[in-house]
Amino acid sequence: MKFFADTADTAEIRDLADAGLLDGVTTNPSLIHKAGRDFLEVVAEICGIVSGPVSAEVVALDFETMMKEAEVVRKIADNVAVKVPLTIDGLKACKALTDDGTMVNVTLCFSANQALLAAKAGATFISPFVGRHDDIGFDGMQLIADIRLIYDNYDFATEILVASVRHPIHVYEAARIGADVMTAPPSVIKQLVKHPLTDNGIKAFLADWEKTGQKIG
Ligand code: E4P
């Protein structure tokens, strides 16, 4: 499963990239607001750090303006994936952009039928939001399993990008289901390394090493 970081914080992105943990990045207007930086500038910087897909979202709701915004965004770098909302105009933009060789991430997916439409429109990625689905009492991971089944039934090439990931169990379940990608905040990716037995083991080994009175090098 590919790992994308769901952030516009370039320091965090560099940190994860240095550990070889990043296959791409996703941003959205809220994350750009949180970063407090110019949209085009920060996306360009991220594209220079990560060679994989970097999602940058258009904000227009009508097809023509969406395409104008997409034109600006896709010029930033070859690894930009234009993010469009799951609406009819968004799907039209998805079709036009992917036909033209641009990667497209269709976002804000909350049903298997929506995912089916995105695949038919040629989406590179579909982003079902598991955390927001859980928040309103639906099983976000069941949605991922349904989309996996449907895409496999018809051999759709669209990659399932599990979004709105909130904790390590989401990552574990997405990997078990066979999602292609998951995008999570850097804090969640860093949480994956944590295990109390690892910490205890390090402590015990260091205590015994002290007793040997030796040094390495
Ligand atoms: C995905 O591309 C979105 O940016 C993101 O995963 C949304 O997550 P949230 O529901 O935690 O805001």
CATH code of the domain covering residue 52: 3.20.20.70
**Ligand 1, CB cutoff 6 Å, lining residues:** 6, 26, 28, 107, 127, 129, 131-132, 163-164, 183
**Residue 217 falls within a domain, yes or no?**
no
User: What amino acid occupies position 35?
Assistant: A
Tokens matching residue 128: 């079902």
| Ligand 1 centroid – CA 7 distance (Å) | 9
Q: Which domain holds residue 35?
A: 2-212
Cβ atoms within 10 Å of 100's Cβ, excluding its own = 11
Which member of 2, 83, 95, 211 is catalytic?
83
Run of H or E including 172: helix 168-177
Closest ligand 1 atom, CA of 27?
Answer: 4
Alpha-carbon distance 206 to 164, whole Å?
38
Closest ligand 1 atom, CA of 26?
Answer: 2
> What's the domain count of the chain?
1
Q: Is 83 labeled as catalytic in the residue annotation?
A: yes
**Residue 80 falls within a domain, yes or no?**
yes
Alpha-carbon distance 26 to 64, whole Å?
24
Confidence (pTM) = 0.96
pLDDT per position in the chain (217 positions), as tens? 999 999 999 999 999 999 999 999 999 999 999 999 999 999 999 999 999 999 999 999 999 999 999 999 999 999 999 999 999 999 999 999 999 999 999 999 999 999 999 999 999 999 999 999 999 999 999 999 999 999 999 999 999 999 999 999 999 999 999 999 999 999 999 999 999 999 999 999 999 999 999 999 9
Tokens matching residue 116: 């089916």
**Residue 101 falls within a domain, yes or no?**
yes
